[in-house]
Structure 1
Amino acid sequence: MDYASAFAGLKVIDLSGGVAGPSCAMMLAQHGADVIKVETPHNGGDWSRILGRTYEDHSAFSLYGTLGKRSLAMDLKTPEGKEVLWRLIKGADVFIEGFRPGTIQRYGFGYDSVNAAEPGIIYYSISGFGQTGPLASRPAMDPVLQAFIGIVTENKGEHDGHPHRIAISLIDMYSGLLGFQAIATSLYVRRAQAEKKGRYIDLSLMHSGAMLSVIRMIANYLEHGTAQRTSMPSGVFNTIDGQINITMVRPSDWRPFCEAIEAMDLHDDARFSTSATRAANLDELYALLRPRIADHTTAWLSERLATRGIMNGRVNSYEEFLKEEQVAATGIMAWLQQPGVPDLVPTPNIPGLPPLVSGSKRAHAPTLGEHSSEVLADHGYSSAEIATLFEKKIVAGR
């Protein structure tokens, strides 16, 4: 065992789909676990493969969520498919499922059944609203939970005042990290046990979203629905050649900020001279600041603000971000070749691990059922038995 492969030798059965469960399992694979992704052979497999623009067997979602895994395309609704899964479970360390509550039990693979077959297994369930309660059976994705929790209400457009969802899989990705954390710590505890004991871990997108929002949630609750406005002007401002984000939280930033943008008259204005007066006249202050900032280039503003310790950043597109010198200098991105994708895929390296390298197992996003025969053979199926499963369309891929 070393830092680059802490979970080498562990077997993970991943029945989850979408983003939250798969990203959790992907992290386990990145740390050395053998993650077998079990997905339906029908309708394109895991539905993350068909979200947005597709590239043969992949979309942007699955290119990330399947990294380092082995894919077994199998019909779990058939008796033969269930028998295959029971064989996979034998000797497994982690079982991950992301079906709607009650579904996995109807398939016959609830925690009690799986734990009885493999008593040391860490069993992880990820759902939208949780396993119990009046909303448990509702379908749910990241945007639904952003709305339900209050994130959408908080994210009102500056120009239209209308609530908007945050256009990334925010809760899903955070759920993946929370799931990885819970599984990793469980495995750490289990390794010291003479007789390994299994554990059931239940996580919902609702729970993850609440944790993600906790500071704003506390502030809004204690302040009766509206978090107190800062006394310092912050946000996105137009410039001559783009936009800049300026973030200030300390009253001591006011003078150097005014110096940076050459607006000492505002510094000396009684309406804005103290935290209390700025808070009371913040809208008026913004109205005066915006045209002044818009008279300068982003680079000029950024340099002068940074020199004076004022936090700021150019508002980039993703393409512009990937071209930033700072990104190249820090080596945070890998550019990977993936099956079916004509261009190299920009993929963040995993913190604490060696950089991803095209062609390596960790850096490969498998096609649907790419490892079906291999996984079956590893679990004792003969060539004839494997051929029969393919002929009956129980298994697909290669």
Structure 2
Amino acid sequence: MDYSSAFAGMKVIDLSGGVAGPSCAMMLAQHGADVIKVETPHNGGDWSRILGRTYEDHSAFSLYGTLGKRSLALDLKTPEGKAILWRLVRGADVFIEGFRPGTIQRYGFGYDAVSAKEPGIIYYSISGFGQTGPLAARPAMDPVLQAFTGIVTENRGEHDNHPHRIAISLIDMFSGLLGFQAIATSLYVRREQAVKQGRFIELSLMQGGAMLSIIRLIAHHLERGTTTRTSMPNGVFNTADGQINVTMVRATDWRPFCEAIEQAQLLEDPRFATHAARGTNLDELYGVLRPMLAARSTAWLSERLTAKGIMNGRVNSYEEFLMEEQVAATGIMAWLAQPGVSEKVPMPNIPGLPPFESGTKRAHAPRLGEHTRDVLTEHGYSAAEIEALVERKVVGVG
């Protein structure tokens, strides 16, 4: 074991689909675990593979969520498929499922059943609204939980004052990290046990959304929905050649801000002289500032604001971000060749691990069923038995 492969030798059975569960299991794979991704051989496999534009067996979602795993295409609706999964469970360290509550029990692989066979297993369930309660059975994805937990209400458009979802899979990705830390700490504790004792871990996207927005939740609750503004002005402003974000933290930032943009006369304007006055007259303040900032270039504003200690950042597209000198200087991105994709894919390197390298296991996103034969062979199936399972469509091969 070393820092680059803390979970080497551990076997993870990943039955989750979408983003939250798969990204959690992906992190285990990146830290050395053998993650066997079990997905249906029908309808394209894990549904994340067909979200948005597809590249043979992949989408942008699955290129990230399957990285470093092995794919076994298996029909769990058949008795033979269930028998195969039971054989995989033997000796497994982690079992991950992301079905709607009650579904995994109907398949026969609930925690009680699995832990009876493997008492030391860490069993992790991820769902939308949780395993119990009136909404437990309701289907849910990231946008639904952004709305339900209040994040959408918080994210109102500047021009239409209408609630908007945040376009990235915010809750999914955060929940994946929460799941990873819960499993990782459980494995740490279990490693010290003379007799390995497993546990059941539950996480919902609802819980992930609550934790993600906890500071705003606290503030809105204590202030009954009318939260105190931070220093003004804040937000995105048009410039002569683009847009810039300005973030002011302290009321004392006002003077250096005015000096930076060469508008010292605003300091004497009673409408804006104090923090409270700027909050009361915020629309008027923005009405004055917007044309001033729009007449200057982004680079001019950024240089002067930075010199005065005012936090700011050019508003980039994703492609512009990837081309930033700072990104190259810090080495945070790798560019990986992937099956079915005509050009290399950008992938953030994972903190604490070596950079990704194309062609290595860690950097490979498998096709659906790519490792079916290998996994079955390792678990005692002969070549003839595997071919018979393929023939009967119990399993699929890449």
The CA distance in 2 between the partners of 1:9 and 1:69, in whole Å, is 14
TM-score for both structures, normalised by structure 2: 0.99
The CA distance in 2 between the partners of 1:267 and 1:361, in whole Å, is 59
The CA distance in 1 between the partners of 2:82 and 2:200, in whole Å, is 21
The CA distance in 2 between the partners of 1:127 and 1:28, in whole Å, is 19
The CA distance in 2 between the partners of 1:390 and 1:272, in whole Å, is 73
RMSD: 0.7
Superposed CA deviations along residues 49-73 of structure 1, whole A, max 9, x for unmatched, are 0000000000000000000000000
Superposed CA deviations along residues 77-110 of structure 1, whole A, max 9, x for unmatched, are 1000000000000000000000000000000000
Q: CA deviation at 1:186?
A: 0.2
The alignment partner of 1:362 has SS state of helix
Are residue 357 (structure 1) and residue 347 (structure 2) matched?
Answer: no
1:96-135 aligned within 5 A: 96-135=96-135
User: Is the 1:128–1:139 contact (alpha carbons within 8 Å) kept by the matching residues of 2?
Assistant: yes
What letter corresponds to residue 280 of structure 1 in structure 2? T
Superposed CA deviations along residues 164-221 of structure 1, whole A, max 9, x for unmatched, are 0000000000000000000000000000000000100000000000000101111111
The CA distance in 2 between the partners of 1:116 and 1:332, in whole Å, is 43
User: Is the 2:126–2:203 contact (alpha carbons within 8 Å) kept by the matching residues of 1?
Assistant: yes
The CA distance in 2 between the partners of 1:204 and 1:22, in whole Å, is 14
User: Is the 1:130–1:204 contact (alpha carbons within 8 Å) kept by the matching residues of 2?
Assistant: yes
1:29-178 aligned within 5 A: 29-178=29-178
Q: CA deviation at 1:273?
A: 1.5
The CA distance in 2 between the partners of 1:370 and 1:194, in whole Å, is 37
1:254-269 aligned within 5 A: 254-269=254-269
Q: CA deviation at 1:231?
A: 3.8
Q: CA deviation at 1:232?
A: 1.6
Superposed CA deviations along residues 213-265 of structure 1, whole A, max 9, x for unmatched, are 10111111111112222342000000000000000011121111001101101
TM-score for both structures, normalised by structure 1: 0.99
Are residue 322 (structure 1) and residue 315 (structure 2) matched?
Answer: no
User: Is the 1:334–1:357 contact (alpha carbons within 8 Å) kept by the matching residues of 2?
Assistant: yes
User: Is the 2:336–2:358 contact (alpha carbons within 8 Å) kept by the matching residues of 1?
Assistant: yes
Superposed CA deviations along residues 25-60 of structure 1, whole A, max 9, x for unmatched, are 000000000000000000000000000000000000
- 1:248 aligned residue: 248
Are residue 186 (structure 1) and residue 189 (structure 2) matched?
Answer: no
User: Is the 1:231–1:282 contact (alpha carbons within 8 Å) kept by the matching residues of 2?
Assistant: no
Which shows bigger deviation, 380-389 or 126-135? 380-389
Are residue 198 (structure 1) and residue 180 (structure 2) matched?
Answer: no
What letter corresponds to residue 300 of structure 2 in structure 1? W
Are residue 28 (structure 1) and residue 23 (structure 2) matched?
Answer: no
- 1:346 aligned residue: 346
The CA distance in 2 between the partners of 1:102 and 1:251, in whole Å, is 53
- 1:281 aligned residue: 281
Question: Unaligned 5+ residue runs, structure 1?
Answer: none
The CA distance in 2 between the partners of 1:107 and 1:267, in whole Å, is 69
The CA distance in 1 between the partners of 2:291 and 2:52, in whole Å, is 39
The alignment partner of 1:228 has SS state of coil
User: Is the 1:71–1:366 contact (alpha carbons within 8 Å) kept by the matching residues of 2?
Assistant: yes
The CA distance in 2 between the partners of 1:296 and 1:10, in whole Å, is 57
User: Is the 1:45–1:73 contact (alpha carbons within 8 Å) kept by the matching residues of 2?
Assistant: yes
User: Is the 1:25–1:180 contact (alpha carbons within 8 Å) kept by the matching residues of 2?
Assistant: yes
The CA distance in 1 between the partners of 2:293 and 2:29, in whole Å, is 47
- 1:12 aligned residue: 12
The CA distance in 2 between the partners of 1:228 and 1:47, in whole Å, is 42
* Segments ≥4 residues shifted beyond 4 Å: none
- 1:386 aligned residue: 386
The CA distance in 1 between the partners of 2:352 and 2:308, in whole Å, is 33
User: Is the 2:25–2:180 contact (alpha carbons within 8 Å) kept by the matching residues of 1?
Assistant: yes
The alignment partner of 1:270 has SS state of coil
Identity of aligned residues (%): 80
What letter corresponds to residue 185 of structure 2 in structure 1? T
Question: Unaligned 5+ residue runs, structure 2?
Answer: none
The CA distance in 2 between the partners of 1:271 and 1:148, in whole Å, is 38
The alignment partner of 1:72 has SS state of strand
- 2:372 aligned residue: 372
- 2:224 aligned residue: 224
What letter corresponds to residue 168 of structure 1 in structure 2? I
The CA distance in 2 between the partners of 1:238 and 1:324, in whole Å, is 20
User: Is the 2:230–2:250 contact (alpha carbons within 8 Å) kept by the matching residues of 1?
Assistant: no
Number of residue pairs matched?
A: 398
Q: CA deviation at 1:336?
A: 0.3
The CA distance in 1 between the partners of 2:197 and 2:140, in whole Å, is 32
What letter corresponds to residue 180 of structure 1 in structure 2? F
User: Is the 2:231–2:248 contact (alpha carbons within 8 Å) kept by the matching residues of 1?
Assistant: no
Q: CA deviation at 1:286?
A: 1.1
